[in-house]
Structure 1
């Protein structure tokens, strides 16, 4: 038996689930357009444990969405996960954020392109086939009218995630299909973390770091003029 706590904070969705052998027993999430992870994450963890009638010392592992995504969001999720793993001496499992996002697309043919907003016209994206096998590496890329043109010529391509919203008016090929209102969630992490746990595919808790893809760049505060 495998009881895993899953934590997703890579985007504006603050999401937690508790799963047994890959089946979600309870979940809670909030995506209100703001980054509420610092306030909501720990209460959400307690809520899902209570709903599933599971004590924190019964969990066998903690899984965290490793990125790419929001620098601050990832730091909060990974810090909470490390604290739990150290405190209860359980392994840490890292889940690719774009892989779990791709699992929101249930398709019979074509390709899946999950996208996470990286500001302006840039997104973090990867490409997966209908069986969620990765067929192109993760990239930070600026979207224009020629993006994914070679794929779209011969395939239906399903775009999803908060990064895809700003691409609808730019990628207008007839084979481009946009799946609305999908975002990385701890619910989609459940099966992925279970499979990794079975293989003992775990991280070094002390040295694990999120996958930022790009260096953090602080935005200077605007000067106030009287």
Structure 2
């Protein structure tokens, strides 16, 4: 049996979910223009466990979105996750932000062909986004990286019939580009529910992080506004 707690704080979405053997039990998430993670994350976890009639001690592992994403959000999420792991003596599982978004897309769009590109995006300031390219079977076209959103960026994907764009970084594309090949999915944002499938796969393979050395995957150095 695998009862997993999933924590998502890479963007302005503060989200927690509980799963059993890879299936969602319950989730709670809140979104605010201001980052509310420091005030709300532990409260959401407590509420999630109460509403699910579960105790933290029942958990088999804890999953965290490791990034990239918001410096502040990732730092808070990882700190809470590691604190729980230490206190409960449970292992930590991490999932890349863009991989989580890919699973979120895949779970509601199962008729995408191999000549279509899946392009999750997370806001990375100015005209940059964190992104990674996937085929419908999960094959990675290019790994997670910070990219400038411009015409030359999309020209490299001319071989694909459609390019599916989603995540909170997709708004930069919607506001700046008109292209018949671009398909936007505004409803798909970061969520703890998107971490379930990948984290269950890792749990079954005992793929855990080293708590002493694990840090968020910031990708870029922090620069205050």
| TM-score for both structures, normalised by structure 2 | 0.94
Deviations 1:45-86 (A, max 9, x none): 011111211110000000000000000000000000000000
Are the counterparts in 2 of residues 152 and 173 from structure 1 also a CA contact under 8 Å? no
Distance 1:37 1:153 in 2: 40
Equivalent residue number for residue 84 of structure 1: 84
CA RMSD of aligned residues (A): 1.2
1:160 corresponds to 2:166: yes
SS in 2 for 1:152: coil
Equivalent residue number for residue 124 of structure 1: 130
Q: Tell me, which stretches of 5 or more residues in structure 1 are unaligned?
A: 220-226
User: Which of 193, 201, 220 is the equivalent residue of 1:187?
Assistant: 193
Shift in Å at residue 153 of structure 1? Answer: 4.0
Segments of 4+ moved more than 3 angstroms: none
Deviations 1:138-190 (A, max 9, x none): 11111112322131343311000110111114332211111113211100111
Q: 1:112 to 1:154 in 2, by over 3 A?
A: closer
Equivalent residue number for residue 17 of structure 2: 17
Equivalent residue number for residue 31 of structure 2: 31
Shift in Å at residue 111 of structure 1? Answer: 1.3
Equivalent residue number for residue 206 of structure 1: 212
| TM-score for both structures, normalised by structure 1 | 0.93
Are the counterparts in 1 of residues 103 and 197 from structure 2 also a CA contact under 8 Å? no
Q: Which structure has the greater CA radius of gyration?
A: 1
Are the counterparts in 2 of residues 12 and 35 from structure 1 also a CA contact under 8 Å? yes
Shift in Å at residue 95 of structure 1? Answer: 0.6
Query: How many residues are treated as equivalent by the alignment?
Result: 219
Are the counterparts in 2 of residues 99 and 132 from structure 1 also a CA contact under 8 Å? no
